[in-house]
Structure 1
Amino acid sequence: MFSKEEKKPTEDLSTISNILGKETTLDGDLASAGNVRIEGKVLGSVKAKAKFALGVDAVVEGNVLARTAEVAGKIIGNIEVAELLILKPTAVIHGDILTNKLVVDPGATFNGGCKMGHLAKDIEIEQPESRATEQTFKRA
């Protein structure tokens, strides 16, 4: 008599967390539709559609783009945050900062320019194409 409309389970991508642990090094770019927490080292750029968190001993050697960010480690590159950027006392930034709102705790340092009042923009995450279709195999 009453029909139940079946709802498909959908994941809220902003609640998905991706963690790069201590003593882990990623050589390449990292992009996520959810949250990203780095405790190790990234040699490349990082994009997070949600929150980006960088641990005390963590290092990113590349640019960072995120909705919100909390940095306690070291970034060698520019950081662009659409909403709120928090620099913890142990944070070190060697590059430019572009953000809407900035909180700098005593002890945090950055060497570069800073522009605030940045208008929030949608962060696009590109889906990589299958590598198998891109590669051609040759026989010797």
Structure 2
Amino acid sequence: MAKNFEPENKLPNMIGPGTKIKGDIETNGDIKIDGAVEGNVVSKGRVLIGQNGVVNGEVKCTNCDIYGTFDGKILVSELLSLKSSSKLTGDVKTGKLSIEPGAIFTGTCDMTGNTPASVSTKPDAKK
């Protein structure tokens, strides 16, 4: 049987300041966003939205640290950390949530433990 080739990614993917992306991003590794993304981000690792980073869309990942701005829906299977400079607007579903003083969070949060054990890069099935 053939094995799916998933290279180990020791370095995180990076979207630098001044970069704007419209569309979906999928990665097996970590990703750091210091630019702007309008679309969906799916990562089997950590998503880090830097202090100047802006994401509008849906994020699915294992862990997430937000220093910048997020607007949309976020699904984190393990830990979501909102840092003091973060601004999150939208719906959150996570296993654990950490909010530093100064962070702005407007929306809903579900921590009922119904998050998947691991994040899949396959799109959700429509019902």
Q: Place the TM-score, normalised by the shorter chain, in its bin.
A: 0.7 to 0.9
- Does residue 79 of the first structure (1) align with residue 67 of the second (2)? no
Aligned counterpart, 2:109: 114
Unaligned 5+ runs, structure 1: 1-9, 127-140
Task: Count residues in correspondence.
Answer: 116
Q: CA deviation at 1:18?
A: 0.5
Q: 1 or 2, which has the higher strand percentage?
A: 2
Q: CA deviation at 1:19?
A: 0.3
- Whether the 8 Å CA contact 1:72–1:91 is kept in 2: the answer is yes
Q: 1 or 2, which has the higher helix percentage?
A: 1
- Whether the 8 Å CA contact 1:83–1:120 is kept in 2: the answer is no
Aligned counterpart, 1:26: 21
Correspondent of 1:89 among 84, 87, 103:
84
Q: CA deviation at 1:11?
A: 4.2
Radius of gyration: which is bigger?
1
Aligned counterpart, 1:123: 119
State the TM-score, normalizing by the size of structure 2: 0.85
Aligned counterpart, 1:50: 45
- 3-state DSSP of counterpart to 2:93: strand
- 3-state DSSP of counterpart to 1:112: strand
The one-letter code matched in structure 2 to 1:93 is L
Give the alignment's Cα RMSD to 1 decimal.
Answer: 1.5
State the TM-score, normalizing by the size of structure 1: 0.77
Segments of 4+ in structure 1 off by > 3 A?
Answer: none
Unaligned 5+ runs, structure 2: 1-5, 123-127
Q: CA deviation at 1:77?
A: 0.2
Tell me the percent identity: 33
- 3-state DSSP of counterpart to 1:78: strand
